[in-house]
Amino acid sequence: IVLSIVAAVVTDRIIEPRLGAYQAETGAAEEETQDQEAAAAEGRGLQYALYGFLGILVLVLLLTLPPGAPLRDPETGSIIGNTPFMDSLIFIITLFFLIAGIGYGIGAKTLQGSGDIIKGVNKTFAGLSGLIFMLLMISQFIAFFNFSRMPQVVAVWMADTLEQANIGALPLLIGFVGVIMILNIIIPNVIPKWAIFAPIFIPVFMRLGVAPQTVLAAYRLGDSPTNVITPLMVYLPFVLTIVQRYQKDAGIGTVVALMLPYTLIIGIAWLLLFIIWFVLGIPLGPGYPVSVP
């Protein structure tokens, strides 16, 4: 709730005034008019898509819920775990989208035959060509950057610096959050950072009376705001592709500049909420206090 309110205020008071009113191109306006004229066909397509989705849902339920169903574990009868259902989950999800998409095409009459399906696939991948190329370049940079071991060196150095600071629990938690925010720019993945910091800081904070779940909450707090400004974010090429639909000359710097107010203000809001939560001693969940004896 707090994050939604903060993000809405930042969008309304900072981002929207900076961007101004969107001026659609002539072609875009004509396309919008055509979309309005096709509203009835699209509604029919959505109905057919819903019918297809429900049909696949019923089929999956019939193959999963009854005792002895094919997608259950033949020995234990369980659904979750090392079962045919979990092994087939990717295919099942693909089938949901495929049947719903074909149903929409038939209902909206955008698919008149198998040739239209092939054309639709080609059109989709043609629009993703720039994204695929950018993903290739970014993946190479990330691979070489990780190969250099620089992120691990920086992380260990920052961890040692905080550990030797010899300050109280709350200031150390605030410093811990700040380090995670900075480090998240070069190591945006959640698990590698936690694997480095957890063995070091959980014992340190335990000696100061801070529960491990509080350390994890502080870690996730620091890991959150800077995700949107790191050039190593895996979703950045996709975000950039969407932005370029509205601003043709947009680049990575454009996205980072737009996201920076969110990072700063959300980071401050998270930190203030965390400090209040910690000072008041509110449990993080049932049976999970912020402090330990």
Q: Taking the domains of the chain in order of start, what are their residue ranges? A: 37-127, 132-280
Q: Is the pLDDT of residue 155 over 70?
A: no
Q: Are 184 and 228 in contact (CB under 8 A)?
A: no
Query: Helix/strand/coil (H, E, C) string of the chain?
Result: CHHHHHHHHHHHHHHHHHHCCCCCCHHHHHHHHHHHHCHHHHHHHHHHHHHHHHHHHHHHHHHHCCCCCCCCCCCCCCCCCCCHHHHCHHHHHHHHHHHHHHHHHHHHCCCCCHHHHHHHHHHHHHHCHHHHHHHHHHHHHHHHHHHCCHHHHHHHHHHHHHHCCCCCHHHHHHHHHHHHHHHCCCCCCHHHHHHHHHHHHHHHHHHCCECHHHHHHHHHHHHCHHHHCCCCCCCHHHHHHHHHHHCCCCCHHHHHHHHHHHHHHHHHHHHHHHHHHHHHCCCCECCECCECC
Mean pLDDT of 47-56: 93
* 3-state SS class at 88: coil
What pLDDT digit, counting tens, does each position of 224-264 carry? 888 888 877 777 777 888 888 788 888 888 888 888 999 99
Q: pTM (2 decimals)?
A: 0.57
Output 245 or 159, whichever has higher pLDDT. Answer: 245
DSSP structural state of residue 229: T
Q: Which carries the bigger pLDDT value, residue 232 or residue 52?
A: 52
**Residue 134 above 90 pLDDT?**
no
User: Which pLDDT belongs to residue 120?
Assistant: 74
Least confident range of 40-54, 115-129, 176-190: 115-129
Higher pLDDT, 116 or 99: 99
pLDDT at 199 over 60: yes
Mean pLDDT over each residue of the chain, to the nearest integer: 81
> From the centroid of its chain, how far is CA 66?
35
